[in-house]
């Protein structure tokens, strides 16, 4: 193989590899608009605290309702979505 053919072959391989990597990048971001900015979830830390300390009584959606404790006691748990709970500052929770 001559030097010119070798250089041409190397150039074609480099172009092929570059175009393949661009297609992969574009396909992973196909569903996201070009100007989209990733925003962090402001409640990420709080979700874990709620799941650990509140969810067993207030429920997954925070609506509350009747709850039976392990010792058999029945409670009517208030909703965290309405009523006086909405008027409390975050520091109370």
Tell me whether residue 4 is in a domain. no
Say what the pLDDT of residue 26 is: 47
Tell me whether residue 61 is in a domain. yes
- Quick one: tokens of 46? 């709080």
**Mean pLDDT in the chain?**
78
Domain count for the chain = 1
Domain containing residue 62: 49-92
Tell me whether residue 35 is in a domain. no
Mention every residue, 6+ apart, whose C-beta is less than 8 A from residue 75: 57, 66, 67, 68, 69
Average pLDDT over residues 6-32: 66
Going through 1-93 in order, the beta strands assigned E by DSSP cover 65-68, 74-77
Tell me whether residue 34 is in a domain. no
Tell me whether residue 57 is in a domain. yes
Backbone φ/ψ region at 64: left (φ over 0), alpha (ψ -120 to 50), beta: left
| Percentage of the residues of the chain whose pLDDT score is greater than 90 | 10
Tell me whether residue 79 is in a domain. yes
Tell me whether residue 3 is in a domain. no
What is the reported pTM? 0.49
| Percentage of the residues of the chain whose pLDDT score is greater than 70 | 77
Is the pLDDT at 32 greater than 70? The verdict is no
């Amino acid at each position: 193989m001559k030097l010119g053919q070798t250089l041409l072959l190397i150039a074609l391989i480099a172009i092929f590899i570059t175009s393949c990597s661009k297609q992969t990048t574009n396909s992973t971001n196909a569903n996201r608009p070009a100007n989209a900015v990733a925003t962090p979830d402001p409640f990420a830390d709080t979700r874990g605290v709620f799941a650990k300390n509140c969810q067993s009584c207030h429920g997954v959606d925070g609506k509350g309702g009747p709850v039976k404790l392990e010792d058999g006691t029945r409670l009517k748990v208030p909703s965290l979505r309405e009523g006086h709970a909405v008027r409390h500052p975050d520091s109370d929770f």
